[in-house]
Amino acid sequence: MKFETTYKDNNYPIILKQNALAELKHYLKENEQNIVLIDQDVYRYHKDYIKEHLGQLDIKYLTIMSGEACKQLSYFESISEKLLSLNITRQSQLIAIGGGATGDFVGFLASTLLRGLDFIQIPTTLLAHDSAIGGKVGINASVGKNLIGAFHRPQAVIYDLKFLDTLPHVEVRSGYGEIYKHAILNGEAEQHKLMDVYPSIKELVQLEDIASFLKMGIETKLKIVVEDEFEGGVRKHLNLGHTFGHGLEYLTKIAHGEAVMIGILFQKVINKNKSLYDNCDSIFIFINYLKELGYPLNIINQADIELIFDYMKKDKKNIGQTIQMVLQTGESSFTIESVSKDEVIKAFSELKALIND
Ligand code: NAD
Ligand code: ZN
């Protein structure tokens, strides 16, 4: 399928299908340099497939460090120098092939080199349905993730489902966390659909019908981002599950979307305690579902809530000393509320008891 973003202007196409890679040729710049920067692991897995589709085209290739490792300032410097030594011009184009980390890194290179180059995103993970949309690009600083960045929209997103064949289970679960988050932002019906199609990890890793759910996730994110590109209001709802999730991810090093899914669970407990939306039954059903999918809930037993809380306090979306969390108030209504340390600690010990039940 092919659809377009829905910004007021400067829209770009999103192509989402098997063998979408073959479409890249229509987006290359003629008589200019087109440079692919590809996650080295993705290259290793898919070298033959890439050659088959892109072998005839005039493209340069640069393999880059896989995953999050590329999002470092020192690496940004070395790849910037390398690209500049290729005599790129303002008309050159970068093409990112990889997961969200690759897209963030290459997008940031594109936003800064020569004050801005065009770039194309070719996502290879489920999670990247989230990161490839919305125009945020960036790298990490030693004090926190994504603190050095820019807003820079791609020229096109070419989402080839073929790449997903080699995704490890942990990355499937991680991406599914963000898909599920988008379903929550959409309302109950989407969540039920997901639970019906993927009742356990066995069905999830088959990824049947995944294109329609990726489209749902992309459209949900787009709708919010178009309304609030620079995060003044409703875009904050995309942070659902992320306040606690980021703390847990940082301290335990579990995958981003797995931490987000556990963050959504934590949000549900806070929600119940504030009598906003969830109740014991809905939490119980959700915990069982996460167990069916194999989310690492046991990590909660090893996590130190004091350290998680300290990390939550550092979130760049906080105001003053209070923690701001996205909480659900109705089937598809959300609010941002201050949550106190006492409330966080109480919810955490409750969560521990619930998952060990
Ligand atoms: P990732 O790029 O780190 O990929 C995860 C792992 O999967 C890596 O080890 C990678 O080498 C491997 N991989 C990628 N594609 C593969 C494939 N097809 N087969 C086998 N292995 C493959 O991360 P991600 O989970 O895709 O995304 C997380 C990143 O996205 C984080 O850096 C996060 O900050 C960022 N992000 C950005 C935004 C945004 O709006 N810009 C939104 C959400 C997340
Ligand atoms: Zn996220």
CATH number of the domain bearing residue 183: 1.20.1090.10
| Same domain flag for 236 and 338 | yes
- 317 and 351 co-located in one domain: yes
pTM assigned to the model: 0.94
What tokens appear for 74 in the block? 């020192």
Q: How far is the CA of 349 from the centre of ligand 1 (A)?
A: 31
> Cα separation of 328 and 276, whole Å?
7
**What integer pLDDT is reported at residue 357 of this predicted model?**
80
- Is the shortest distance between the CB of 39 and ligand 1 below 6 Å? yes
Q: Strand, coil or helix: what is 293?
A: helix
Last residue of a domain, one of 141, 165, 189: 165
- In the block, residue with structure tokens 């201050």: 338
Residues 66 and 42: their CA atoms lie apart, in Å, by: 8
Quick one: 194 and 152 in the same domain? no
Q: Are residues 181 and 100 part of one domain?
A: no
**Nearest ligand 1 atom, CA 66:** 11
Tell whether 38 and 50 lie within a shared domain.
Answer: yes
Do 144 and 258 lie in one domain? The reply is: no
The total number of structural domains in the chain stands at 2
Rounded Cα–Cα distance for residues 335 and 338 (Å): 10
The C-alpha atoms of residue 104 and residue 107 are separated, in whole angstroms, by 5
Both 132 and 248 in one domain: the answer is: no
- Residues near 323 by beta carbon (within 8 Å), at least 6 away in sequence: 243, 309, 312, 313, 315, 338, 339, 340, 341, 344
Looking at the DSSP bridge assignments, the partners of residue 144 are 141
Q: Clarify whether residues 272 and 151 are in a common domain.
A: no
- Element holding 324 (H helix, E strand): strand 323-330
The domain boundary, picked from 131, 165, 199, lies at 165
Q: From atom 24 of ligand 1, which residue's Cα is the shortest distance away?
A: 100
Q: DSSP state, 319?
A: B
239: domain range? 168-355
In this structure, the answer to whether residues 34 and 134 fall within a common structural domain is yes
178 contacts: CB under 8 Å, gap ≥ 6: 126, 127, 129, 130, 217, 257, 260
Q: Which of 165, 200, 227 finishes a domain? A: 165
pLDDT tens digit at each of 357 positions of the chain = 999 998 888 899 999 999 999 999 999 999 999 999 999 999 999 999 999 999 899 999 999 999 999 999 999 999 999 999 999 999 999 999 999 999 999 999 999 999 999 999 999 999 999 999 989 999 999 887 889 999 999 999 999 999 999 999 999 999 999 999 999 999 899 999 999 999 999 999 999 999 999 999 999 999 998 887 777 778 889 999 999 999 999 899 999 999 999 999 999 999 999 999 999 999 999 999 999 999 999 999 999 999 999 988 887 666 666 799 999 999 889 999 999 999 999 999 999 999 988
Residue with token string 């992320």: 242
Pocket test for ligand 1, best of 125, 145, 242, 316 (most atoms within 8 A of CB): 125
Measured from the Cα of 134, ligand 1's closest atom is 40
Task: Indicate whether residue 166 lines ligand 1 (CB < 6 A).
Answer: yes
- Residue that the structure tokens 């579902």 belong to: 289
Residue 155 belongs to domain with CATH number: 3.40.50.1970
Tell how far the Cα of 100 is from the centroid of ligand 2, in angstroms.
10
Q: Are residues 13 and 40 in the same domain?
A: yes
Residue nearest atom 30 of ligand 1, based on CA coordinates = 100
Which amino acid would we find at residue 238?
L
The residues near 149 (Cβ < 8 Å, ≥ 6 apart) are: 104, 108, 136, 137, 138, 139
**Residue 188 and residue 333 in one domain:** yes
Together in a domain, 92 and 122? yes
What 3-state class would DSSP assign to 304? coil
In the numeric block, the tokens 């499937």 are attached to: 172
